Each structure stands twice: as structure tokens, then as C-alpha cells.
């Protein structure tokens, strides 16, 4: 019986000694303790567990080289006071929006789209029905999001019509490399006045172009349009060229380039007429 009690006391003393024999690792940030990690086992080899945990925390906090893990074998003691790392001082936005919307929608949509996903068109928007041939367009009065249809009022006659969303063009945005307001030169035209992009028909992949000569409207694909700026290889808009097929010394000026077909629109300095050339002919 005495032997059993002596053995039990020795075993309990051993457990208590092992539990008190700890290894502590402190995570220091610029000399200030941030967090402590403990290994409750005897021997130096177990300190690596606390070091591992400390280094993992240092990486997670993204403290960098300013932080270090310092170990203290045995003894344990009370953990240090943890001082949180202060965050950045809030201040004014260094990158404010230089172009806030100067033309807010005067007719906000009172019936937002109940279906998931963004609604491209809103009540009060100016639109251009695909089947119309005048530049006044129409104004959206109401929307049926379930059928994706819109009731619009003609800005020319005042009459009201119903159109599917795919039939309406917006006087904003871009298609391919062309945007509303750009001056363009359709390859099928033979004058130097060109036209301007009035609207984009995203669903149909076309642009609404107003001729700067006649004022008429046309629907065109981006691939058939040249733009009056930029360069293609070593030739740029505004440069004087001498086409191989011409027999006079006046030459001509490049007024537009079609990046899709790689054709140059050239105005003759002799006749004023407009021609299309490939780069090998200039």
C-alpha cells in the first residue's frame, strides 16, 4: 500500500513538472510584443512548434522584416501585454473621381428591374429605335422587365410605341473601337465629310451613323468604318502619300484608317476626291 502511494505521488510530480516546463516564443513588432506562443512539453526540440506557429502568424499578419520571433526556453511566465498594431490613419481620398456624372438622369426609374441581373435601359433614357430613320430618337416611358419590352415616346411626333430591348440603341457607350461621338469614314462613302456615331446597337452589333454631308442616318458594322486618327504600321492620319496608280506630283493626304480592313482613306491634293488604298499601294 505504501509503495502504491509513493508511486502515485512520483507520477503526479512528474506530470506537474512537465506541464510547467514550457517553451514560449514571442512575436515582436518593432520591439513590442504582439502575441505569444507556448509549447507545453519538455526539451528544446519542442520549441520548434511554437516557433512554427509564431512565423505562420507573422506571415499572415504581413509584418515583414520589422517583426521577429524570439524564443524563451522553459519557465513560461505570464504572457506579455498584446498591443494591437495601429492601422493607417484615415484621410481624404487621394484619387477622387475627376469626372463625376454632370448629367444625372432627370427621370429616375420608379420601377427597378425585379429580375436578377443589371437593367441596361432605364425610364427617361433617350433611345434610337432600329427601324426609325430620324435623329430625334425617343424617350423611355415605362419598362416591362418580364417581356424585356419598353414603351417609348417619339421625340419627333409624340406618338407612343412598344419595342423590344434588342431594337433600341443607346446614345452612349462603345462598340469595338468606336464610341458615340466619334467621327468616322465609312468605306462605302466617297466624300471627305465623314459622319458621326449617334448611337450603339449592342444587340445587333451595329452603329448608328449620321452623315456630315447629307444628314441622313445609316446603320453600319464597325468593320466597314475608318477612323480619322492613329497610325497603321509606318503611315499615319495627316501624312502625305503618293499612290502608285497616280501620275501627278500633288499626292494626297491620309484622312482615315480602317484597322479591320487595313485600308487607308486618301484625299487627292489635285482633285479633292477620296480614294481607298492598301498599304502596298502607297
pLDDT tens, residue by residue, 206-235: 999 999 999 999 999 999 999 888 898 889
Q: Does the fold of domain 231-281 match that of domain 120-168?
A: yes
Q: Which pLDDT score is estimated for 199?
A: 93
**Top-level class of domain 231-281:** mainly beta
| Distance between CA atoms of residues 277 and 216, nearest Å | 26
Tell which residue, 176, 177, 174, has the closest CA to residue 229: 177
| Distance between CA atoms of residues 229 and 242, nearest Å | 19
Residue with cell 520571433: 69
Is residue 132 over pLDDT 50? yes
Is residue 42 over pLDDT 70? no
- Higher-pLDDT residue of 46 and 113 is 46
Spans of all domains in the chain: 15-73, 120-168, 231-281
Range in 38-47, 122-131, 229-238 the model is least confident about: 38-47
Is the pTM higher than 0.85? The answer reads no
Query: Considering the domain 120-168 in this protein, what is its CATH number?
Result: 2.30.30
CB 25 within 8 A of CB 53: yes
Q: Which pLDDT score is estimated for 99?
A: 52
- Kindly report, residue by residue over 255-268, the tens digit of the pLDDT: 999 988 999 999 99
Long-range contacts of range 110-119, CB-CB < 8 Å, 24 or more positions apart?
Answer: 111/142, 111/143, 113/143, 113/145, 114/145, 115/145, 115/146, 119/143, 119/145
- Higher-pLDDT residue of 96 and 85 is 96
Grid cell of 79 as nine digits = 504572457
| Distance between CA atoms of residues 135 and 241, nearest Å | 36
| Distance between CA atoms of residues 38 and 211, nearest Å | 79
- Kindly report, residue by residue over 136-173, the tens digit of the pLDDT: 999 999 988 888 899 999 999 999 999 999 999 999 88
At a CB cut-off of 8 Å and minimum separation 6, what does 179 contact? 173, 197, 200
Amino acid at each position: 500500500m505504501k509503495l502504491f502511494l509513493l508511486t502515485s505521488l512520483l507520477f503526479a510530480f512528474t506530470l506537474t513538472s512537465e506541464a510547467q516546463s514550457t517553451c514560449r516564443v514571442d512575436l515582436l513588432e518593432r520591439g513590442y510584443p504582439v502575441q505569444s506562443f507556448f509549447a507545453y512539453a519538455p526539451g528544446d526540440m519542442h520549441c520548434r512548434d511554437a516557433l512554427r506557429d509564431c512565423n505562420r502568424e507573422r506571415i499572415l499578419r504581413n509584418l515583414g522584416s520589422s517583426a521577429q520571433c524570439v524564443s524563451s526556453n522553459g519557465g513560461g511566465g505570464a504572457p506579455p501585454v498584446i498591443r494591437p498594431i495601429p492601422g493607417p490613419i484615415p484621410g481624404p481620398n487621394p484619387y477622387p473621381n475627376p469626372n463625376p456624372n454632370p448629367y444625372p438622369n432627370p427621370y429616375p426609374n420608379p420601377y427597378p428591374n425585379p429580375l436578377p441581373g443589371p437593367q441596361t435601359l432605364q425610364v427617361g433614357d433617350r433611345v434610337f429605335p432600329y427601324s426609325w430613320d430620324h435623329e430625334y430618337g425617343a424617350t423611355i416611358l415605362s419598362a416591362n422587365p418580364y417581356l424585356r419590352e419598353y414603351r417609348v415616346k417619339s421625340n419627333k411626333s409624340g406618338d407612343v410605341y412598344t419595342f423590344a430591348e434588342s431594337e433600341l440603341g443607346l446614345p452612349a457607350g462603345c462598340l469595338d473601337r468606336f464610341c458615340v461621338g466619334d467621327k468616322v469614314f465609312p468605306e462605302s462613302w466617297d466624300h471627305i465629310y465623314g459622319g458621326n456615331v449617334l448611337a450603339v446597337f449592342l444587340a445587333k452589333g451595329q452603329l448608328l451613323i449620321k452623315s456630315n454631308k447629307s444628314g441622313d442616318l445609316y446603320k453600319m458594322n464597325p468593320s466597314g468604318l475608318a477612323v480619322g486618327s492613329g497610325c497603321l504600321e509606318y503611315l499615319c492620319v495627316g501624312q502625305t502619300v503618293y499612290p502608285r496608280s497616280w501620275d501627278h506630283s500633288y499626292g494626297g493626304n491620309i484622312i482615315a484608317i480602317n484597322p479591320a480592313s487595313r485600308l487607308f482613306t486618301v484625299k487627292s491634293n489635285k482633285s479633292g476626291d477620296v480614294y481607298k488604298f492598301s498599304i502596298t499601294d502607297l
